[in-house]
Structures are given as structure tokens and as C-alpha cells.
């Protein structure tokens, strides 16, 4: 098994859904097959406007021929493994390129950097993961929160994976994933509730809103930003219980089964539409919104 980098663009011509599948041509079949059962890092090229660089990690579950397109294949992403980085990692910083494996013997960037799928060394993998999940704010519980059974402390030192078990434990930890997901979603929405439009910060500088999964984790919802939305406590409660939902255009839908529709209307923002995230590609995906309407929303 090997680590790999998968190139993915927001405007990709391929039938990709990073948290679910990655479509690729036959020429990369051997490389992708070597990743089955192991982790890959998604990368967006520097030539893409507003590039995110290395922006997420995921695990390849299996590779199958694309039933719809001859000569194409699909890497199936293990459910629940995808995780957006708290901090997208640039291709290079003031110390040089982050992924050292793309350099040739003269220390120059080689043609390998253009490959849509390329193997990556454990050292480069650890370096990118460390930068992607690092942040000035701790990933781990605050002093008023309890640490889980994973045994993480408040102070977090840079990590290097020594064994597969360490890597799997860290990237699969619900404590880590919840805190990274919260940071990514709240940053995308400028810490404002998408339903009310309010931005409330407590005396300790912590935002009142929570990062809600549109399709819950326990119902196979991925930790991808397009499956997330920033909601205040009351809005989160109503959303989870199906009293409100969203159309694909982010119109706020109110259940006919609620006993106080007028109260809900006075609670939501005046436009009747959810506030979108700051960047268009972070918007809730219609696939997840449809799931919520069909499985949670009380029509």
C-alpha cells in the first residue's frame, strides 16, 4: 500500500465527488490500486484561481471500472474517512515546496508534479497532514471540555506517524474530526448562523454557532464542508428535528407540522433564505440537502 496525491479541481471535467468517489483514466490504474486501503491527499493545482492547494485527506476503499464510461475507473472513498483540512496547505512556502518528492536530483520541480495521481512519501504525507490539521486555536478540547478516550492533551505537539495504527487512530478520531469540521464550517460562514444571520460571540471569544452536519455522521454523512452548515443552538435543534430544511437554492422551508410557524418565521432572517458561505464552492451540496428533505424534514 502507498500514500498518494489525487489532483482535483473545483471545475473538474471528471465525475468526482471527493468524499465519495474519484474518477480517473486507465493510465493511473496501477497507482490508484496501490492506494487501496490507505490514505490519499487531495490537491488543487496552483493554476486554479483561488486554489486551496492540499485541501483534504481521505481513504481509498476500492477501485472499480466506471460502469458509465469505458476506459475510466472510479476510486471509491471509504465512507466517513474524508476530512477537509483546517488550513489548506500551499504547494510551496518561504522554505520551498511542501511535497519534497516532486523535486528532481537538481532540486527543481520535475514533471511528476503534473501527474493527476502520484505516490507520496510517508515523510511528505506527515508533513502535509501536520500543516493541514494545525492551527493557532487548539484542535483538542478546551479547558471546559472533557477529552475523550483517545488520550489527547490540551497541548498538541507536531506529530509524525510511526505506525499505521497511529495514523489511523489520529485521522479516524472523532474528537479530532469534530473540531476540524467545526473550525472549517464556522470559518466558511464567518461564524454566523445561516438561518438567523446572527453572529454572537461569548465573553471568551467563542462563537455561539455550531457546525451542523446536513446528513449526520451516524447516517453516513461525511465531514466535508458541503455537508455542513453553521447554525445557532435553536436553529440546530429545529434542523435536526425536521422542523426546518433548505431547498437547493437555500430557501428556508418550514414544516407544516410545526405548532408555531409564525414564531419560526419571526426567528429566521427576513429574506427567508439561508445565508450562503463566503465562498461559492463551500455551499451545501444539493445531494445532502435532498437527503435532509427526504429523511429528516417533516413535510
Give pLDDT tens digits along the chain (299 positions): 689 999 998 878 888 889 999 999 999 999 999 999 999 999 998 888 778 899 999 999 999 999 999 999 999 999 999 999 999 999 999 889 999 999 998 889 998 888 999 999 999 999 999 899 875 544 333 334 444 444 343 344 444 555 555 666 778 888 889 999 999 999 999 999 999 998 887 766 677 899 999 999 999 999 999 999 999 999 999 999 999 999 999 999 999 988 888 889 999 988 999 999 988 889 999 999 999 999 999 88
Q: What is the pLDDT of residue 43?
A: 96
Tens of pLDDT, residues 164-186: 556 667 788 888 899 999 999 99
The Cα 135–Cα 172 span in angstroms is 19
Closest Cα partner for 240 from 258, 223, 216? Answer: 216
Q: Are strands 39-43 and 3-7 parallel, antiparallel or unpaired?
A: parallel
Distances (CA, A) of 113 to 32, 99, 191: 16, 9, 36
pTM given for the model: 0.82
| Helix residue ranges per DSSP H, 111-244 | 122-133, 164-172, 174-188, 233-240
Strands of 161-293 (E only): list them. 210-213, 228-231, 244-246, 252-254
Q: Which class is domain 3-177?
A: alpha beta
Dump strand ranges (E) for the chain: 3-7, 21-25, 39-43, 54-65, 72-77, 83-89, 92-93, 96-97, 117-120, 210-213, 228-231, 244-246, 252-254
Residue 157 is predicted with a pLDDT of: 45
Domain ranges (residues) in the chain:
3-177, 192-295
Round to the nearest angstrom and report the end-to-end CA distance of the chain. Answer: 47
Amino acid at each position: 500500500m502507498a500514500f498518494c496525491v489525487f489532483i482535483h479541481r473545483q471545475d473538474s471535467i471528471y465525475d468526482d465527488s471527493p468524499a465519495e468517489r474519484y474518477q480517473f483514466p486507465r493510465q493511473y490504474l496501477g497507482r490508484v490500486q496501490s492506494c487501496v486501503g490507505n490514505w490519499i491527499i487531495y490537491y488543487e493545482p496552483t493554476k486554479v484561481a483561488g486554489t486551496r492547494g492540499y485541501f483534504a485527506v481521505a481513504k481509498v476503499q476500492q477501485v472499480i471500472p466506471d460502469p458509465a464510461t469505458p476506459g475510466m475507473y472510479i476510486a471509491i472513498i471509504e465512507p466517513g474517512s474524508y476530512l477537509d483540512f483546517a488550513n489548506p496547505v500551499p504547494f510551496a512556502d518561504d522554505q520551498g515546496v511542501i511535497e519534497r518528492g516532486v523535486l528532481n536530483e537538481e532540486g527543481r520541480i520535475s514533471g511528476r508534479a503534473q501527474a493527476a495521481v502520484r505516490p507520496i512519501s510517508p515523510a511528505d504525507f506527515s508533513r502535509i497532514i501536520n500543516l493541514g490539521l494545525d492551527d493557532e486555536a487548539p484542535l483538542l478540547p478546551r479547558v471546559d471540555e472533557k477529552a475523550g478516550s483517545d488520550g489527547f492533551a490540551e497541548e498538541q505537539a507536531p506529530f509524525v506517524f510511526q505506525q499505521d495504527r497511529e495514523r489511523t487512530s489520529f485521522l479516524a478520531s472523532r474528537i479530532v474530526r469534530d473540531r476540524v469540521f467545526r473550525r472549517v464550517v464556522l470559518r466558511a460562514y464567518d461564524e454566523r448562523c445561516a438561518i438567523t444571520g446572527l453572529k454572537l460571540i461569548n465573553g471568551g471569544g467563542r462563537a455561539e454557532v455550531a457546525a451542523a452536519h446536513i446528513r449526520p455522521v451516524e447516517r453516513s454523512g461525511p465531514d466535508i464542508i458541503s455537508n455542513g452548515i453553521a447554525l445557532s443552538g435553536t436553529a440546530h435543534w429545529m434542523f435536526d428535528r425536521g422542523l426546518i430544511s433548505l431547498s437547493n437554492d437555500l430557501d428556508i422551508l418550514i414544516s407544516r407540522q410545526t405548532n408555531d410557524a409564525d414564531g419560526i418565521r419571526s426567528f429566521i432572517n427576513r429574506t427567508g433564505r439561508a445565508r450562503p458561505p463566503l465562498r461559492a464552492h463551500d455551499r451545501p451540496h444539493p445531494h445532502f440537502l435532498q437527503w435532509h428533505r427526504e429523511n429528516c424534514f417533516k413535510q
